[in-house]
Structure 1
Amino acid sequence: MKTRRDAAPDTQRILVGLIGRGIQLSRTPAMHEAEGRARGIAYIYRLLDADGMGDGRVRLEEIVSFASYFGFDGLNVTFPYKQDIIPLLDELSEAAEAIGSVNTVVLRGGRRIGHNTDLHGFRESFTHEMIGARQDSVLLLGAGGAGAAIAYALLESGIGQLHLFDVAQARAAALSARLEGRFGADRVTVASDVVAVAARVDGIVNATPVGMAKLPGIPLHPALLRPDCWVADIVYFPLETQLLAEARRRGCRTLSGESMAVHQAARAFQLFTGIAPDIDRMRTAFAAFDESPAAGPEGSGPATAD
Protein backbone atom coordinates (compact mmCIF):
# COMPACT_ATOMS: atom_id res chain seq x y z
CA MET A 1 0.00 0.00 0.00
CA LYS A 2 1.44 3.36 -1.01
CA THR A 3 1.69 6.12 1.57
CA ARG A 4 1.73 9.83 0.75
CA ARG A 5 5.53 9.73 1.01
CA ASP A 6 6.03 6.90 -1.47
CA ALA A 7 3.13 7.72 -3.79
CA ALA A 8 3.74 7.09 -7.47
CA PRO A 9 5.19 10.05 -9.39
CA ASP A 10 1.97 10.50 -11.38
CA THR A 11 -0.23 10.56 -8.26
CA GLN A 12 -2.14 13.79 -7.85
CA ARG A 13 -0.97 15.68 -4.77
CA ILE A 14 -3.18 18.18 -2.97
CA LEU A 15 -2.31 20.35 0.03
CA VAL A 16 -5.13 22.41 1.53
CA GLY A 17 -5.98 23.96 4.86
CA LEU A 18 -8.73 25.49 6.99
CA ILE A 19 -8.33 29.03 8.34
CA GLY A 20 -10.31 29.95 11.43
CA ARG A 21 -10.27 30.24 15.20
CA GLY A 22 -10.93 27.39 17.62
CA ILE A 23 -11.02 24.73 14.90
CA GLN A 24 -8.91 21.95 16.39
CA LEU A 25 -11.77 19.44 16.40
CA SER A 26 -12.78 20.08 12.80
CA ARG A 27 -14.37 17.24 10.85
CA THR A 28 -13.40 18.81 7.55
CA PRO A 29 -9.92 17.25 7.25
CA ALA A 30 -11.37 13.77 7.80
CA MET A 31 -13.93 14.22 5.01
CA HIS A 32 -11.43 15.59 2.50
CA GLU A 33 -8.62 13.13 3.26
CA ALA A 34 -10.93 10.10 3.22
CA GLU A 35 -12.27 11.08 -0.20
CA GLY A 36 -8.75 11.80 -1.39
CA ARG A 37 -7.57 8.32 -0.36
CA ALA A 38 -10.53 6.73 -2.11
CA ARG A 39 -9.60 8.61 -5.29
CA GLY A 40 -5.92 7.70 -5.12
CA ILE A 41 -4.87 11.27 -4.33
CA ALA A 42 -2.05 12.14 -1.95
CA TYR A 43 -4.33 14.54 -0.10
CA ILE A 44 -3.16 16.48 2.96
CA TYR A 45 -5.46 18.80 4.89
CA ARG A 46 -4.01 21.08 7.59
CA LEU A 47 -5.65 23.24 10.24
CA LEU A 48 -4.46 26.86 10.27
CA ASP A 49 -5.93 27.84 13.63
CA ALA A 50 -5.20 31.47 14.50
CA ASP A 51 -5.93 30.74 18.18
CA GLY A 52 -2.95 28.39 18.26
CA MET A 53 -0.47 30.63 16.46
CA GLY A 54 1.78 32.35 18.98
CA ASP A 55 -0.27 34.68 21.18
CA GLY A 56 -3.28 34.44 18.85
CA ARG A 57 -2.80 37.91 17.40
CA VAL A 58 -1.59 36.67 14.03
CA ARG A 59 -3.06 38.62 11.10
CA LEU A 60 -5.18 36.93 8.44
CA GLU A 61 -2.96 38.25 5.64
CA GLU A 62 0.02 36.54 7.27
CA ILE A 63 -1.75 33.17 7.28
CA VAL A 64 -2.82 33.52 3.66
CA SER A 65 0.69 34.54 2.61
CA PHE A 66 2.09 31.56 4.49
CA ALA A 67 -0.23 29.19 2.63
CA SER A 68 0.69 30.70 -0.74
CA TYR A 69 4.42 30.60 0.04
CA PHE A 70 4.40 26.96 1.10
CA GLY A 71 2.51 25.72 -1.94
CA PHE A 72 -1.02 25.17 -0.67
CA ASP A 73 -3.52 24.37 -3.43
CA GLY A 74 -6.46 25.85 -1.59
CA LEU A 75 -8.02 27.00 1.66
CA ASN A 76 -11.33 26.70 3.42
CA VAL A 77 -12.29 29.69 5.53
CA THR A 78 -14.51 29.70 8.59
CA PHE A 79 -15.40 31.91 11.56
CA PRO A 80 -14.48 34.75 11.80
CA TYR A 81 -12.78 35.37 8.43
CA LYS A 82 -15.35 34.78 5.66
CA GLN A 83 -15.69 38.46 4.86
CA ASP A 84 -12.29 39.68 6.06
CA ILE A 85 -10.50 37.51 3.51
CA ILE A 86 -12.11 39.14 0.46
CA PRO A 87 -9.67 42.09 0.15
CA LEU A 88 -6.81 39.57 0.07
CA LEU A 89 -8.11 37.78 -3.04
CA ASP A 90 -7.49 38.38 -6.74
CA GLU A 91 -10.84 37.15 -8.03
CA LEU A 92 -14.27 36.09 -6.79
CA SER A 93 -16.73 33.62 -8.24
CA GLU A 94 -20.11 35.01 -9.21
CA ALA A 95 -21.72 33.55 -6.09
CA ALA A 96 -19.02 34.80 -3.71
CA GLU A 97 -19.21 38.29 -5.17
CA ALA A 98 -22.99 38.44 -4.93
CA ILE A 99 -23.06 37.11 -1.38
CA GLY A 100 -20.06 39.08 -0.14
CA SER A 101 -18.65 36.06 1.67
CA VAL A 102 -15.93 33.49 0.90
CA ASN A 103 -15.41 30.10 2.52
CA THR A 104 -13.22 28.46 -0.14
CA VAL A 105 -10.12 29.83 -1.86
CA VAL A 106 -8.41 28.12 -4.79
CA LEU A 107 -4.70 28.98 -5.06
CA ARG A 108 -3.64 28.48 -8.64
CA GLY A 109 -1.10 30.10 -10.95
CA GLY A 110 -0.14 32.65 -8.35
CA ARG A 111 -3.76 33.84 -8.00
CA ARG A 112 -6.23 33.58 -5.15
CA ILE A 113 -9.77 32.84 -6.31
CA GLY A 114 -12.59 33.02 -3.77
CA HIS A 115 -15.71 30.86 -3.85
CA ASN A 116 -18.71 30.30 -1.60
CA THR A 117 -19.77 26.70 -1.08
CA ASP A 118 -21.95 27.48 1.96
CA LEU A 119 -24.77 28.55 -0.37
CA HIS A 120 -24.61 25.23 -2.23
CA GLY A 121 -24.26 23.28 1.01
CA PHE A 122 -27.31 24.75 2.73
CA ARG A 123 -29.44 24.72 -0.41
CA GLU A 124 -28.75 21.00 -0.95
CA SER A 125 -29.34 20.24 2.72
CA PHE A 126 -32.59 22.19 2.90
CA THR A 127 -33.92 20.83 -0.40
CA HIS A 128 -33.29 17.18 0.50
CA GLU A 129 -33.88 17.18 4.26
CA MET A 130 -36.89 19.51 4.63
CA ILE A 131 -39.26 18.15 1.99
CA GLY A 132 -42.82 19.18 2.78
CA ALA A 133 -41.87 21.94 5.22
CA ARG A 134 -43.89 25.15 4.91
CA GLN A 135 -41.84 27.87 3.25
CA ASP A 136 -44.05 30.94 3.11
CA SER A 137 -41.95 32.88 5.62
CA VAL A 138 -38.65 32.32 7.41
CA LEU A 139 -36.77 34.19 10.14
CA LEU A 140 -33.00 34.18 9.59
CA LEU A 141 -30.84 34.97 12.62
CA GLY A 142 -27.49 36.45 11.59
CA ALA A 143 -26.52 38.55 8.58
CA GLY A 144 -22.77 37.98 8.58
CA GLY A 145 -20.77 35.91 6.09
CA ALA A 146 -22.61 32.66 6.74
CA GLY A 147 -25.95 34.43 7.09
CA ALA A 148 -25.57 36.04 3.68
CA ALA A 149 -24.99 32.66 2.04
CA ILE A 150 -27.97 31.12 3.85
CA ALA A 151 -30.19 34.05 2.83
CA TYR A 152 -29.37 33.51 -0.83
CA ALA A 153 -29.87 29.76 -0.49
CA LEU A 154 -33.28 30.15 1.16
CA LEU A 155 -34.54 32.61 -1.44
CA GLU A 156 -33.22 30.47 -4.30
CA SER A 157 -34.99 27.49 -2.71
CA GLY A 158 -38.34 29.26 -3.00
CA ILE A 159 -38.91 30.82 0.43
CA GLY A 160 -41.77 33.30 0.06
CA GLN A 161 -40.55 35.99 2.44
CA LEU A 162 -37.33 36.20 4.39
CA HIS A 163 -37.08 38.20 7.62
CA LEU A 164 -33.51 39.15 8.58
CA PHE A 165 -32.46 39.76 12.16
CA ASP A 166 -29.01 40.70 13.38
CA VAL A 167 -27.90 42.44 16.57
CA ALA A 168 -26.05 44.79 14.23
CA GLN A 169 -29.06 46.23 12.41
CA ALA A 170 -26.89 48.05 9.87
CA ARG A 171 -25.47 44.70 8.76
CA ALA A 172 -28.96 43.26 8.31
CA ALA A 173 -30.02 46.35 6.36
CA ALA A 174 -27.00 46.10 4.06
CA LEU A 175 -27.71 42.43 3.35
CA SER A 176 -31.38 43.20 2.77
CA ALA A 177 -30.48 45.82 0.17
CA ARG A 178 -28.30 43.33 -1.73
CA LEU A 179 -31.01 40.67 -1.62
CA GLU A 180 -33.73 43.06 -2.75
CA GLY A 181 -31.71 43.91 -5.83
CA ARG A 182 -31.70 40.27 -6.88
CA PHE A 183 -34.93 38.80 -5.51
CA GLY A 184 -37.24 41.80 -5.16
CA ALA A 185 -38.15 44.08 -2.26
CA ASP A 186 -41.35 42.15 -1.52
CA ARG A 187 -39.42 39.03 -0.48
CA VAL A 188 -37.00 40.48 2.10
CA THR A 189 -37.55 42.51 5.27
CA VAL A 190 -35.37 43.52 8.22
CA ALA A 191 -36.93 42.34 11.48
CA SER A 192 -36.74 44.93 14.24
CA ASP A 193 -38.99 42.94 16.60
CA VAL A 194 -37.76 39.35 16.60
CA VAL A 195 -40.46 38.27 19.08
CA ALA A 196 -43.29 39.41 16.81
CA VAL A 197 -41.75 37.86 13.71
CA ALA A 198 -40.96 34.52 15.40
CA ALA A 199 -44.61 34.26 16.42
CA ARG A 200 -45.81 33.99 12.81
CA VAL A 201 -43.06 32.49 10.61
CA ASP A 202 -42.98 28.93 9.28
CA GLY A 203 -39.29 28.41 10.04
CA ILE A 204 -36.30 29.80 11.92
CA VAL A 205 -32.66 29.42 10.84
CA ASN A 206 -29.69 30.19 13.08
CA ALA A 207 -26.73 31.51 11.08
CA THR A 208 -24.99 33.11 14.07
CA PRO A 209 -22.05 31.53 15.94
CA VAL A 210 -24.19 31.28 19.10
CA GLY A 211 -24.40 27.61 20.01
CA MET A 212 -20.86 26.69 18.99
CA ALA A 213 -18.79 24.86 21.59
CA LYS A 214 -16.70 28.03 21.75
CA LEU A 215 -19.78 30.30 22.09
CA PRO A 216 -22.40 28.25 23.97
CA GLY A 217 -25.93 29.52 24.34
CA ILE A 218 -29.14 29.96 22.39
CA PRO A 219 -29.76 32.79 19.90
CA LEU A 220 -33.38 33.46 20.91
CA HIS A 221 -35.69 32.72 23.84
CA PRO A 222 -36.90 29.08 23.88
CA ALA A 223 -40.47 30.27 24.45
CA LEU A 224 -40.49 31.54 20.86
CA LEU A 225 -40.10 28.00 19.47
CA ARG A 226 -43.58 26.89 18.44
CA PRO A 227 -44.30 23.22 17.61
CA ASP A 228 -45.68 24.21 14.18
CA CYS A 229 -42.43 26.01 13.29
CA TRP A 230 -39.39 24.18 11.92
CA VAL A 231 -35.90 25.12 13.17
CA ALA A 232 -32.53 24.81 11.42
CA ASP A 233 -29.05 25.45 12.82
CA ILE A 234 -25.97 25.65 10.64
CA VAL A 235 -23.61 25.21 13.61
CA TYR A 236 -22.32 21.65 13.69
CA PHE A 237 -20.15 21.55 16.73
CA PRO A 238 -21.90 20.30 18.62
CA LEU A 239 -24.47 18.79 16.26
CA GLU A 240 -27.08 18.98 19.03
CA THR A 241 -26.97 22.69 19.79
CA GLN A 242 -29.03 24.11 22.64
CA LEU A 243 -31.34 25.64 20.03
CA LEU A 244 -32.03 22.28 18.36
CA ALA A 245 -32.42 20.49 21.69
CA GLU A 246 -35.02 23.04 22.84
CA ALA A 247 -36.78 22.91 19.46
CA ARG A 248 -37.07 19.12 19.54
CA ARG A 249 -38.28 19.23 23.12
CA ARG A 250 -41.06 21.58 22.04
CA GLY A 251 -42.10 19.41 19.08
CA CYS A 252 -40.46 21.33 16.24
CA ARG A 253 -39.13 19.71 13.10
CA THR A 254 -35.38 20.33 13.03
CA LEU A 255 -32.41 20.42 10.66
CA SER A 256 -28.86 20.17 12.00
CA GLY A 257 -25.72 21.48 10.33
CA GLU A 258 -24.49 18.01 9.30
CA SER A 259 -25.86 17.84 5.76
CA MET A 260 -24.81 21.40 4.95
CA ALA A 261 -21.29 20.65 6.21
CA VAL A 262 -21.01 17.58 4.00
CA HIS A 263 -22.33 19.24 0.85
CA GLN A 264 -20.22 22.38 1.19
CA ALA A 265 -17.13 20.23 1.80
CA ALA A 266 -17.92 18.15 -1.27
CA ARG A 267 -18.16 21.24 -3.47
CA ALA A 268 -14.86 22.53 -2.04
CA PHE A 269 -13.20 19.17 -2.75
CA GLN A 270 -14.28 19.44 -6.37
CA LEU A 271 -12.91 22.98 -6.64
CA PHE A 272 -9.56 21.88 -5.21
CA THR A 273 -9.17 18.69 -7.27
CA GLY A 274 -11.39 18.96 -10.33
CA ILE A 275 -12.99 15.66 -9.29
CA ALA A 276 -16.65 15.23 -8.28
CA PRO A 277 -16.60 13.44 -4.89
CA ASP A 278 -18.82 10.70 -3.53
CA ILE A 279 -21.27 12.50 -1.20
CA ASP A 280 -22.20 9.34 0.70
CA ARG A 281 -18.55 8.52 1.34
CA MET A 282 -17.92 12.02 2.69
CA ARG A 283 -21.03 11.75 4.87
CA THR A 284 -19.71 8.47 6.27
CA ALA A 285 -16.39 10.14 7.11
CA PHE A 286 -18.26 12.96 8.84
CA ALA A 287 -20.29 10.52 10.95
CA ALA A 288 -17.24 8.37 11.75
CA PHE A 289 -15.69 11.33 13.53
CA ASP A 290 -18.02 10.65 16.47
CA GLU A 291 -16.39 7.24 16.87
CA SER A 292 -12.87 8.66 16.99
CA PRO A 293 -11.22 9.08 20.43
CA ALA A 294 -10.11 12.55 19.27
CA ALA A 295 -13.69 13.64 18.86
CA GLY A 296 -14.28 13.99 22.58
CA PRO A 297 -17.67 13.73 24.28
CA GLU A 298 -19.49 15.95 21.77
CA GLY A 299 -17.82 14.87 18.54
CA SER A 300 -17.15 18.51 17.79
CA GLY A 301 -16.19 20.10 14.48
CA PRO A 302 -15.97 23.66 13.16
CA ALA A 303 -19.00 25.86 12.73
CA THR A 304 -19.87 27.42 9.45
CA ALA A 305 -21.62 30.31 11.16
CA ASP A 306 -20.00 33.68 11.56
Structure 2
Amino acid sequence: MNSKNPGCTTSTLCTATLAPSAAQDALAMRQHLGDFLQRAMAGSLVVRLPGGAPVERGEGHFHVGPELFLQTAGWTDFRLPHGTLTLGPGEALLMPPQLRHAEQVRAAPAQPFANLVVYAEAHALTCHLAFEVRTGKPGIRHLERRQHLQARHIHDWLADAARLGQNEHPEWATLQIRALVAAATAGVLRALADVDPHTAPESAWVTKVRVLVQNQLGDADLSVRGLAQQCGCTADYLSHLFRQQTQEALVAYINRMRMARAARLLAESALAIKEVAWACGYAHPSYFIHSFRAQYGQTPKAYRQGHAVVKSAL
Protein backbone atom coordinates (compact mmCIF):
# COMPACT_ATOMS: atom_id res chain seq x y z
CA MET A 1 0.00 0.00 0.00
CA ASN A 2 0.93 3.62 -0.45
CA SER A 3 2.68 4.85 2.71
CA LYS A 4 1.20 8.34 2.37
CA ASN A 5 -2.32 7.04 1.89
CA PRO A 6 -2.99 3.63 3.46
CA GLY A 7 -6.13 3.16 1.43
CA CYS A 8 -4.25 3.20 -1.88
CA THR A 9 -3.15 -0.05 -3.46
CA THR A 10 -2.00 1.52 -6.74
CA SER A 11 -1.15 5.01 -7.96
CA THR A 12 -4.09 5.08 -10.38
CA LEU A 13 -6.11 7.70 -8.54
CA CYS A 14 -3.69 8.91 -5.87
CA THR A 15 -1.21 10.41 -8.34
CA ALA A 16 -4.05 11.85 -10.44
CA THR A 17 -5.31 13.89 -7.48
CA LEU A 18 -1.84 15.06 -6.39
CA ALA A 19 -0.09 15.53 -9.73
CA PRO A 20 1.64 18.91 -10.09
CA SER A 21 0.29 19.15 -13.65
CA ALA A 22 -3.30 19.44 -12.38
CA ALA A 23 -3.29 23.22 -12.75
CA GLN A 24 -1.93 22.91 -16.30
CA ASP A 25 -4.65 20.37 -17.15
CA ALA A 26 -7.31 22.69 -15.74
CA LEU A 27 -5.99 25.56 -17.85
CA ALA A 28 -5.80 23.38 -20.96
CA MET A 29 -9.40 22.26 -20.47
CA ARG A 30 -10.60 25.86 -20.32
CA GLN A 31 -8.54 26.83 -23.35
CA HIS A 32 -10.01 23.97 -25.38
CA LEU A 33 -13.53 24.95 -24.32
CA GLY A 34 -12.81 28.52 -25.37
CA ASP A 35 -11.50 27.38 -28.77
CA PHE A 36 -14.61 25.31 -29.46
CA LEU A 37 -16.83 28.18 -28.34
CA GLN A 38 -15.11 30.60 -30.72
CA ARG A 39 -15.48 28.22 -33.67
CA ALA A 40 -19.13 27.56 -32.84
CA MET A 41 -19.81 31.30 -32.77
CA ALA A 42 -17.92 31.72 -36.06
CA GLY A 43 -20.05 29.01 -37.68
CA SER A 44 -17.15 26.67 -38.45
CA LEU A 45 -17.75 24.00 -35.78
CA VAL A 46 -18.97 20.63 -37.08
CA VAL A 47 -21.53 19.11 -34.68
CA ARG A 48 -22.20 15.40 -35.19
CA LEU A 49 -25.59 14.07 -34.06
CA PRO A 50 -25.92 10.27 -33.96
CA GLY A 51 -29.32 8.65 -34.13
CA GLY A 52 -30.81 5.35 -33.07
CA ALA A 53 -33.31 3.76 -30.75
CA PRO A 54 -32.74 4.70 -27.09
CA VAL A 55 -31.62 2.24 -24.42
CA GLU A 56 -31.34 -0.88 -26.56
CA ARG A 57 -29.58 -3.76 -24.87
CA GLY A 58 -26.01 -4.18 -25.96
CA GLU A 59 -22.49 -2.92 -25.53
CA GLY A 60 -21.63 0.28 -23.71
CA HIS A 61 -23.64 2.59 -21.49
CA PHE A 62 -26.08 5.49 -21.73
CA HIS A 63 -27.11 8.60 -19.80
CA VAL A 64 -30.57 9.98 -19.17
CA GLY A 65 -29.36 13.40 -20.30
CA PRO A 66 -27.39 14.56 -23.37
CA GLU A 67 -23.61 14.27 -23.37
CA LEU A 68 -21.27 16.57 -25.32
CA PHE A 69 -17.93 15.34 -26.70
CA LEU A 70 -15.37 17.86 -27.98
CA GLN A 71 -12.51 16.15 -29.83
CA THR A 72 -9.22 18.00 -29.46
CA ALA A 73 -6.81 15.41 -30.94
CA GLY A 74 -6.89 11.87 -32.28
CA TRP A 75 -10.16 10.08 -32.97
CA THR A 76 -13.02 8.52 -31.04
CA ASP A 77 -14.92 5.62 -32.62
CA PHE A 78 -18.44 5.38 -31.19
CA ARG A 79 -20.16 2.02 -31.46
CA LEU A 80 -23.91 2.64 -31.57
CA PRO A 81 -26.94 0.31 -31.79
CA HIS A 82 -27.14 0.76 -35.57
CA GLY A 83 -23.55 1.34 -36.64
CA THR A 84 -20.41 3.31 -35.86
CA LEU A 85 -19.47 6.97 -35.98
CA THR A 86 -15.98 8.46 -35.89
CA LEU A 87 -15.31 11.82 -34.29
CA GLY A 88 -12.23 13.60 -35.65
CA PRO A 89 -10.03 16.45 -34.38
CA GLY A 90 -11.87 19.73 -33.99
CA GLU A 91 -15.34 18.16 -34.22
CA ALA A 92 -18.12 18.02 -31.63
CA LEU A 93 -20.53 15.17 -31.03
CA LEU A 94 -23.79 15.52 -29.14
CA MET A 95 -24.92 12.16 -27.76
CA PRO A 96 -28.72 12.16 -27.37
CA PRO A 97 -30.26 11.10 -24.06
CA GLN A 98 -30.73 7.36 -23.55
CA LEU A 99 -28.66 6.35 -26.60
CA ARG A 100 -26.41 3.42 -25.74
CA HIS A 101 -22.84 3.78 -26.93
CA ALA A 102 -19.35 2.39 -26.44
CA GLU A 103 -16.13 4.27 -27.16
CA GLN A 104 -12.78 3.22 -28.58
CA VAL A 105 -10.07 5.80 -29.15
CA ARG A 106 -7.22 6.08 -31.63
CA ALA A 107 -4.10 8.20 -31.84
CA ALA A 108 -1.43 8.92 -34.43
CA PRO A 109 2.29 9.07 -33.54
CA ALA A 110 2.27 12.85 -33.68
CA GLN A 111 -1.30 13.27 -32.48
CA PRO A 112 -2.19 11.54 -29.19
CA PHE A 113 -5.85 11.14 -28.36
CA ALA A 114 -7.56 13.81 -26.25
CA ASN A 115 -11.12 15.02 -25.87
CA LEU A 116 -13.43 16.85 -23.49
CA VAL A 117 -16.67 15.39 -22.16
CA VAL A 118 -19.48 17.55 -20.73
CA TYR A 119 -22.49 16.25 -18.83
CA ALA A 120 -25.09 18.22 -16.88
CA GLU A 121 -28.08 17.09 -14.89
CA ALA A 122 -30.22 18.96 -12.35
CA HIS A 123 -27.77 21.39 -10.67
CA ALA A 124 -24.63 19.25 -11.21
CA LEU A 125 -22.16 19.76 -14.04
CA THR A 126 -19.13 17.60 -14.81
CA CYS A 127 -16.46 18.31 -17.39
CA HIS A 128 -13.41 16.17 -17.89
CA LEU A 129 -10.35 16.03 -20.08
CA ALA A 130 -9.77 12.50 -21.37
CA PHE A 131 -6.64 10.71 -22.55
CA GLU A 132 -5.78 7.21 -23.76
CA VAL A 133 -5.24 5.35 -20.51
CA ARG A 134 -4.35 2.17 -22.40
CA THR A 135 -4.58 1.12 -26.04
CA GLY A 136 -8.02 2.04 -27.34
CA LYS A 137 -9.50 2.89 -23.94
CA PRO A 138 -10.24 6.46 -22.76
CA GLY A 139 -9.57 7.50 -19.19
CA ILE A 140 -10.02 10.63 -17.11
CA ARG A 141 -6.98 12.90 -17.00
CA HIS A 142 -8.60 15.92 -15.33
CA LEU A 143 -12.12 16.17 -13.94
CA GLU A 144 -14.10 19.03 -12.41
CA ARG A 145 -17.61 19.06 -10.97
CA ARG A 146 -19.75 22.06 -10.08
CA GLN A 147 -23.08 22.50 -8.34
CA HIS A 148 -24.30 25.49 -10.34
CA LEU A 149 -27.52 26.95 -11.72
CA GLN A 150 -25.95 26.91 -15.19
CA ALA A 151 -26.10 23.10 -15.14
CA ARG A 152 -29.86 23.04 -15.72
CA HIS A 153 -29.56 25.47 -18.63
CA ILE A 154 -26.69 23.46 -20.16
CA HIS A 155 -28.77 20.30 -19.93
CA ASP A 156 -31.78 21.96 -21.56
CA TRP A 157 -29.78 23.61 -24.37
CA LEU A 158 -28.10 20.33 -25.27
CA ALA A 159 -31.37 18.41 -25.02
CA ASP A 160 -33.04 20.90 -27.39
CA ALA A 161 -30.15 20.57 -29.83
CA ALA A 162 -30.36 16.77 -29.68
CA ARG A 163 -34.10 16.85 -30.44
CA LEU A 164 -33.49 19.13 -33.41
CA GLY A 165 -31.01 16.63 -34.78
CA GLN A 166 -33.25 13.56 -34.56
CA ASN A 167 -34.55 13.89 -38.10
CA GLU A 168 -33.54 15.49 -41.37
CA HIS A 169 -33.48 19.21 -40.72
CA PRO A 170 -33.19 22.39 -42.80
CA GLU A 171 -30.26 24.77 -42.71
CA TRP A 172 -31.85 26.96 -40.04
CA ALA A 173 -31.93 23.96 -37.68
CA THR A 174 -28.21 23.36 -38.25
CA LEU A 175 -27.54 26.96 -37.26
CA GLN A 176 -29.73 26.62 -34.20
CA ILE A 177 -28.02 23.40 -33.11
CA ARG A 178 -24.62 25.10 -33.36
CA ALA A 179 -25.92 28.09 -31.40
CA LEU A 180 -27.29 25.85 -28.64
CA VAL A 181 -23.98 24.00 -28.40
CA ALA A 182 -22.20 27.37 -28.20
CA ALA A 183 -24.53 28.50 -25.40
CA ALA A 184 -23.90 25.27 -23.50
CA THR A 185 -20.12 25.58 -23.91
CA ALA A 186 -20.23 29.17 -22.66
CA GLY A 187 -22.31 27.95 -19.72
CA VAL A 188 -19.64 25.41 -18.84
CA LEU A 189 -16.94 28.07 -18.86
CA ARG A 190 -19.08 30.30 -16.67
CA ALA A 191 -19.76 27.53 -14.16
CA LEU A 192 -16.09 26.56 -13.98
CA ALA A 193 -15.09 30.17 -13.37
CA ASP A 194 -17.75 30.80 -10.74
CA VAL A 195 -16.15 29.27 -7.65
CA ASP A 196 -17.58 29.95 -4.20
CA PRO A 197 -14.57 30.84 -2.00
CA HIS A 198 -16.56 29.83 1.10
CA THR A 199 -17.29 26.30 -0.14
CA ALA A 200 -14.60 23.64 0.02
CA PRO A 201 -14.17 21.89 -3.35
CA GLU A 202 -15.21 18.25 -3.50
CA SER A 203 -12.38 15.72 -3.39
CA ALA A 204 -11.25 14.47 -6.80
CA TRP A 205 -11.75 10.96 -5.45
CA VAL A 206 -15.44 11.55 -4.75
CA THR A 207 -16.00 13.38 -8.03
CA LYS A 208 -14.47 10.52 -9.99
CA VAL A 209 -16.57 7.97 -8.12
CA ARG A 210 -19.72 9.92 -9.02
CA VAL A 211 -18.78 9.77 -12.72
CA LEU A 212 -17.95 6.06 -12.54
CA VAL A 213 -21.29 5.35 -10.87
CA GLN A 214 -23.22 7.31 -13.51
CA ASN A 215 -21.43 5.43 -16.30
CA GLN A 216 -22.16 2.03 -14.76
CA LEU A 217 -25.66 2.35 -13.30
CA GLY A 218 -27.00 -0.10 -15.86
CA ASP A 219 -24.52 -2.77 -14.78
CA ALA A 220 -26.10 -5.22 -12.32
CA ASP A 221 -22.58 -6.03 -11.07
CA LEU A 222 -21.82 -2.44 -10.03
CA SER A 223 -20.42 -2.61 -6.50
CA VAL A 224 -18.25 -0.74 -4.03
CA ARG A 225 -15.56 -3.39 -4.48
CA GLY A 226 -15.56 -2.92 -8.25
CA LEU A 227 -15.40 0.86 -7.93
CA ALA A 228 -12.51 0.55 -5.49
CA GLN A 229 -10.59 -1.60 -7.96
CA GLN A 230 -11.08 1.04 -10.65
CA CYS A 231 -9.91 3.76 -8.25
CA GLY A 232 -6.90 1.84 -7.02
CA CYS A 233 -7.84 1.60 -3.35
CA THR A 234 -9.54 -0.76 -0.93
CA ALA A 235 -13.33 -0.98 -0.70
CA ASP A 236 -13.29 -0.07 3.00
CA TYR A 237 -11.18 3.02 2.36
CA LEU A 238 -13.36 4.20 -0.52
CA SER A 239 -16.54 3.69 1.50
CA HIS A 240 -15.05 5.60 4.43
CA LEU A 241 -13.85 8.48 2.27
CA PHE A 242 -17.16 8.80 0.42
CA ARG A 243 -19.21 8.83 3.63
CA GLN A 244 -16.81 11.23 5.30
CA GLN A 245 -17.09 13.79 2.50
CA THR A 246 -20.74 13.37 1.48
CA GLN A 247 -22.40 12.16 4.70
CA GLU A 248 -23.93 9.35 2.65
CA ALA A 249 -22.95 5.70 2.32
CA LEU A 250 -21.66 4.80 -1.14
CA VAL A 251 -24.11 1.88 -1.43
CA ALA A 252 -26.98 4.23 -0.54
CA TYR A 253 -25.74 6.72 -3.16
CA ILE A 254 -25.67 4.04 -5.87
CA ASN A 255 -29.22 2.97 -5.01
CA ARG A 256 -30.43 6.58 -4.94
CA MET A 257 -28.93 7.26 -8.36
CA ARG A 258 -30.57 4.11 -9.74
CA MET A 259 -33.93 5.22 -8.42
CA ALA A 260 -33.48 8.71 -9.87
CA ARG A 261 -32.64 7.22 -13.27
CA ALA A 262 -35.67 4.94 -13.07
CA ALA A 263 -37.95 7.88 -12.28
CA ARG A 264 -36.71 9.83 -15.31
CA LEU A 265 -37.03 6.85 -17.63
CA LEU A 266 -40.56 6.18 -16.42
CA ALA A 267 -41.51 9.82 -16.99
CA GLU A 268 -39.61 10.43 -20.23
CA SER A 269 -39.59 7.13 -22.12
CA ALA A 270 -42.00 4.44 -23.27
CA LEU A 271 -39.79 1.57 -22.04
CA ALA A 272 -41.57 -1.37 -20.46
CA ILE A 273 -41.17 -1.65 -16.69
CA LYS A 274 -38.86 -4.65 -17.04
CA GLU A 275 -36.67 -2.69 -19.47
CA VAL A 276 -36.48 0.24 -17.05
CA ALA A 277 -35.41 -2.21 -14.36
CA TRP A 278 -32.69 -3.62 -16.62
CA ALA A 279 -31.51 -0.14 -17.66
CA CYS A 280 -31.07 0.78 -13.99
CA GLY A 281 -29.04 -2.31 -13.09
CA TYR A 282 -31.78 -4.51 -11.64
CA ALA A 283 -31.61 -8.12 -12.86
CA HIS A 284 -35.05 -8.95 -11.45
CA PRO A 285 -38.06 -6.68 -12.19
CA SER A 286 -39.84 -7.79 -9.02
CA TYR A 287 -36.99 -6.53 -6.84
CA PHE A 288 -36.92 -3.28 -8.83
CA ILE A 289 -40.66 -2.75 -8.25
CA HIS A 290 -40.22 -3.45 -4.52
CA SER A 291 -37.29 -1.00 -4.28
CA PHE A 292 -39.09 1.68 -6.29
CA ARG A 293 -42.21 1.45 -4.12
CA ALA A 294 -40.06 1.75 -0.99
CA GLN A 295 -38.40 4.90 -2.39
CA TYR A 296 -41.39 6.70 -3.96
CA GLY A 297 -44.38 5.21 -2.17
CA GLN A 298 -45.97 3.88 -5.36
CA THR A 299 -45.37 1.32 -8.06
CA PRO A 300 -43.42 2.24 -11.21
CA LYS A 301 -46.65 1.98 -13.22
CA ALA A 302 -48.49 4.40 -10.94
CA TYR A 303 -45.52 6.78 -10.95
CA ARG A 304 -45.47 6.78 -14.74
CA GLN A 305 -49.18 7.55 -14.92
CA GLY A 306 -48.75 10.55 -12.66
CA HIS A 307 -45.46 11.93 -14.02
CA ALA A 308 -45.42 11.25 -17.76
CA VAL A 309 -43.75 14.11 -19.63
CA VAL A 310 -45.44 15.36 -22.78
CA LYS A 311 -42.65 16.16 -25.25
CA SER A 312 -43.33 19.01 -27.62
CA ALA A 313 -41.82 19.07 -31.09
CA LEU A 314 -39.24 21.75 -31.78
TM-score by length of 1: 0.29
Could you say which structure has the higher helix fraction?
Answer: 2
**Higher RCO (C-alpha under 8 Å, 6+ residues apart):** 1
